[in-house]
DNA sequence: AAAAATATGTTGCATATACAACAATATTAT
DNA sequence: ATAATATTGTTGTATATGCAACATATTTTT
């Protein structure tokens, strides 16, 4: 006889889905409250580009966990707003489109970060830093092991 | 001077999003491998209905974390397949559509669960039960506290 | 050298998901 | 009593997201 299955609402998958949704809503609430003029995805991409200057589109897609199609669309928007530049280069002997953050993009990013930092410092914490760090670390550890079982087709 | 903001890929939100995505893909991979004829959402709804006989649509929507519109559509599909029945009743003096799992739905659910239990027992665990339980518990604790800050409009 | 497979990015389309508006009914406020 | 508000569910629509197919170029296989 096998071990009896839990009900779905008692599983890790359910709790993960729910927590991720709650945290995403919180994040977007903050973006709105602070009058930030970028979509969350755009901010995330801009932040990643800022610390991975010269990254190519597919590598960025893997980091933001979106497919290549949508990553391209997010980048179109960032480029139109003058926050990044794109240029053709090679990676492993192949032509790829790389990108870098512009002066204007950097200013925008700094400005947003300042707003968020200020907001965080003024807001009462509902969960201690240690607890959040602990959760982050165990999540990462578990995720990395499960990730080996699948292939994210990006 | 405020505390410097982490890069997004080092945040809990990012790790949550990524882990939730990985686990969802894993779940769907298993559903496919086991030739399960329901969508994941349908299975989840059926499982919840099985242990909340007579639940109304909105309460179910809150549990599966989907809006009322889509919850209704999932239920239409389960009803068409004869896995649940829906009936009008009252809750707090209001007319609501309640539902219950049918004999056929119960058989389907048992069958799916047996397949999954068997699959799990045959599969080498990449993460210990204790570690998963620990993660589940801290996730839930943290989520409940953040959840008080928002309102899921369902 | 030719063919097959792989990597990258784009376009178009299908599906998923959320949101807004509405209908029906019940509760609360004026 | 009437009006305003709230609850539940449905329909329609907009947005998000992902996938399949294609173009291009390169590497690997035969």
- Predicted confidence pLDDT, tens digits, chain A (154 residues): 677 899 999 999 999 999 999 999 999 999 999 999 999 999 999 999 999 999 999 999 999 999 999 999 999 999 999 999 999 999 999 999 999 999 999 999 999 999 999 999 988 889 999 999 999 999 999 999 999 888 888 8
- On chain B, the residues whose CB falls within 8 A of the CB of A116 are 5
Residue B10 has pLDDT above 70, yes or no: yes
For residue A3, what pLDDT is reported?
78
Residue B1's pLDDT band (boundaries 50, 70, 90)?
Answer: low
pTM (predicted TM-score): 0.93
Q: What domains are defined for chain B? A: 28-124 (1.10.10.10)
Which residues of chain A lie closer than 8 angstroms to B7, CB-CB? Answer: 47-48, 51
Give me the count of residues in chain B. 154
A-B C-beta contacts closer than 8 Å:
167
Map chain B to HEC letters. Answer: CCCCCCCHHHCHHHHHHHHHHHHHHHHHHHHHHCCCCCCHHHHHHHHHHHHCCCCEHHHHHHHHCCCHHHHHHHHHHHHHCCCEEEEEEEECCEEEEEEEECHHHHHHHHHHHHHHHHHHHHCCCCCCHHHHHHHHHHHHHHHHHHHCCCCCCC
List chain B residues with CB under 8 Å of A17. Answer: 20, 24, 65
How many angstroms is C1' of D26 away from CA of B27?
36
Q: Which of B7, B85, B146 is nearest to A18 (CA)?
A: B146
Of B21, B32, B113, B52, which Cα lies nearest the Cα of A24?
A: B21
In sequence order, the β-bridge partners of residue B96 are B89
How far, in Å, CA of A83 to CA of A96, rounded?
A: 19
Residue B61's pLDDT band, with cuts at 50, 70 and 90, is very high
Q: What is the pLDDT of residue A75?
A: 97
* Nucleic strand C contacts from chain B, 57-96, CB < 7 Å: 65-67, 69-70, 73, 92-95
The reply to whether B64 Cβ lies less than 7 angstroms from strand D is no
Say what the ipTM of the complex is: 0.93
């Amino acid at each position: 006889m096998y071990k009896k299955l839990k009900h779905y609402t008692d599983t890790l998958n359910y709790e993960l889905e729910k927590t991720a949704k709650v945290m995403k809503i919180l994040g977007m609430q903050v973006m709105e409250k602070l009058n930030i003029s970028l979509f969350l995805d755009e901010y995330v991409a801009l932040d990643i580009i800022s610390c991975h200057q010269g990254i190519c589109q597919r590598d960025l897609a893997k980091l933001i966990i979106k497919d290549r199609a949508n990553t391209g669309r997010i980048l179109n928007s960032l480029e139109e707003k003058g926050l990044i530049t794109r240029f053709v280069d090679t990676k492993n002997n192949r032509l790829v489109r790389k990108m870098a953050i512009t002066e204007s993009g950097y200013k925008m990013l700094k400005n947003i970060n300042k707003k968020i930092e200020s907001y965080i410092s003024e807001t009462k914490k509902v969960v201690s830093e240690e607890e959040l760090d602990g959760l982050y670390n165990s999540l990462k550890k578990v995720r990395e092991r499960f990730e080996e079982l699948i292939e994210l087709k990006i």
